[in-house]
């Protein structure tokens, strides 16, 4: 049996086991769920598309057998299928003429900007799926939110002095509107973190199937500005449609946050104490929401004002990425 099939089956087994552990262990669920896609990403980025495809199939079957159809379907839709699709995109390439010598052919890999845009769209779709799963109409969706409230009280610490009726109602209203965005933001964060971690491991091991792009060269397709504006406008609509649009808006915001970080990485080249400055910035982005919003606005300004072009020649992605990829 080819090694990539063995690796794929093993990766699916490990990923499904991690998901099952998260389901049965509430205390460690958050931490375990963060690394569920990692075995799939590693299998694909080191052993290729057949390995990640088999990993997704094996993991989904095992999750359904071990946890039942409902939770197994959640694993397949939320983890296995989108992770496998993302890895397939990462490994997509074609040969193009060398710009310095048209007689030569070079490999053009799927561009990094689209590799951020794609999971943003997937995250919006998953958030929409979860909204409809909670309730196909506002009444049933709200009922599902109401069922979550006691669990949230217990998780945050039930204190009658803090959780007054007014505070509980405010939290209920906030959760009703913000949950789709939270789902989308959490999913795209987990997906991109695992892709980055798997890519780093593959690169350092010397077995990566593609060169890894630089963050400072990240260039999200301009059409995504329109998609973000449209989803943001629709998010103010009442009903399920507005909730689904909220999920897409949250995912697109994270994509532009990454582009904002790319702009900062570009302009900080050559600065003294650059590493320390970027470390402080990343810490602030993680723990201060207003900093993250400012960086995302900077990312939104890139396609409009060409910020990196104004600062000098854009960092080369060499022949590894090609924005004209079909």
Q: What is the pLDDT of residues 272-295, one digit of tens each?
A: 888 888 899 889 888 888 888 998
Rounded mean pLDDT, 245-255: 93
Lowest mean pLDDT among 14-28, 64-78, 99-113: 99-113
pLDDT for 320: 44
Which of 115 and 302 is assigned the larger pLDDT?
115
Whole-angstrom CA distances from 314 to 6, 194, 216, 240, 242 are 42, 27, 9, 42, 38
Q: What share of the chain is helix, strand, coil (3-state, %, to 5)?
A: 75, 5, 20
pLDDT for 158: 60
Rounded mean pLDDT, 177-188: 91
The model's pTM is 0.84
Q: Distance between the two ends of the chain, CA-based, in angstroms?
A: 34
Predicted confidence (pLDDT) at residue 312 exceeds the cutoff of 90: no
Which of 317 and 236 is assigned the larger pLDDT?
236
pLDDT for 291: 87
Work out the percent of the chain whose per-residue pLDDT is above 90.
35
Please state the φ and ψ torsions of residue 115, each to the nearest 5 degrees. Answer: -75, -15
Contact 180, 71 (CB under 8 A): no
Burial class (CB in 10 A: 0-12, 13-18, 19+), 222: exposed
pLDDT for 161: 64
CA 35, 278, 310: angle at the middle one, nearest 5?
115
Burial class (CB in 10 A: 0-12, 13-18, 19+), 133: middle
pLDDT for 160: 62
Contact 253, 147 (CB under 8 A): no
Separation between Cα atoms, residue 116 and residue 226, nearest integer Å = 16
Confidence of residue 322 (pLDDT cuts 50, 70, 90): very low
Structure tokens at 93: 């390439």
Predicted confidence (pLDDT) at residue 321 exceeds the cutoff of 60: no
Contact 29, 54 (CB under 8 A): no
Rounded mean pLDDT, 129-135: 88
Predicted confidence (pLDDT) at residue 324 exceeds the cutoff of 50: no
Range list of β-strands (E), the chain = 93-98, 101-109
In 3-state terms, what secondary structure has residue 288? coil
Long-range contacts (CB closer than 8 Å, 24 or more residues apart) made by 137-145: 137/240, 138/238, 138/239, 138/240, 141/176, 141/240, 141/243, 142/176, 145/172, 145/175, 145/176, 145/179
Predicted confidence (pLDDT) at residue 314 exceeds the cutoff of 50: no
Predicted confidence (pLDDT) at residue 325 exceeds the cutoff of 60: no
Separation between Cα atoms, residue 138 and residue 124, nearest integer Å = 19
Range list of β-strands (E), 138-242 = none
Average pLDDT across the chain, whole number: 84
């Amino acid at each position: 049996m080819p090694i990539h099939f063995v690796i794929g089956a093993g990766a699916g087994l490990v990923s499904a086991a991690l998901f099952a552990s998260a389901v049965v262990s509430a205390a460690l669920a958050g931490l375990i769920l963060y690394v569920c896609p990692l075995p799939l990403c590693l299998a694909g980025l080191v052993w290729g598309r057949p390995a990640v495809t088999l990993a997704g199939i094996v993991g989904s079957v095992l999750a359904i057998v071990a946890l039942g159809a409902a939770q197994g379907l959640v694993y397949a839709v939320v983890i296995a299928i989108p992770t496998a699709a993302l890895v397939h995109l990462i490994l997509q390439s074609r040969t193009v003429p060398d710009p310095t010598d048209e007689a030569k052919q070079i490999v053009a890999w799927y561009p990094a900007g689209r590799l951020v845009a794609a999971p943003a769209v997937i995250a919006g779709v998953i958030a929409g799926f979860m909204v409809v799963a909670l309730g196909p109409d506002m009444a049933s969706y709200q009922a599902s939110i109401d069922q979550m409230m006691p669990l949230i009280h217990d998780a945050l610490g039930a204190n009658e002095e803090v959780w007054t009726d007014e505070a509980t109602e405010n939290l209920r209203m906030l959760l009703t509107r913000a949950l789709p965005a939270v789902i989308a933001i959490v999913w795209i964060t987990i997906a991109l973190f695992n892709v980055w971690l798997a890519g780093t491991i593959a690169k350092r091991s010397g077995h990566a199937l593609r060169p890894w792009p630089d963050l400072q060269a990240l260039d999200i397709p301009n059409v995504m500005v329109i998609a973000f504006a449209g989803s943001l406008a629709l998010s103010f609509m009442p009903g399920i449609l507005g909730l689904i649009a909220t999920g897409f808006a949250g995912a697109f915001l994270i994509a532009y946050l990454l582009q904002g970080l790319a702009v900062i990485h570009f302009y900080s080249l050559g600065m003294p104490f650059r590493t320390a400055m970027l470390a402080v910035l990343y810490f602030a982005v993680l723990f201060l929401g207003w900093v993250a919003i400012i960086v995302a606005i900077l990312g939104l300004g890139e396609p409009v004002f060409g910020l990196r072009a104004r600062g000098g020649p854009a960092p080369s992605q060499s022949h590894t990425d090609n924005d004209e990829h079909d």
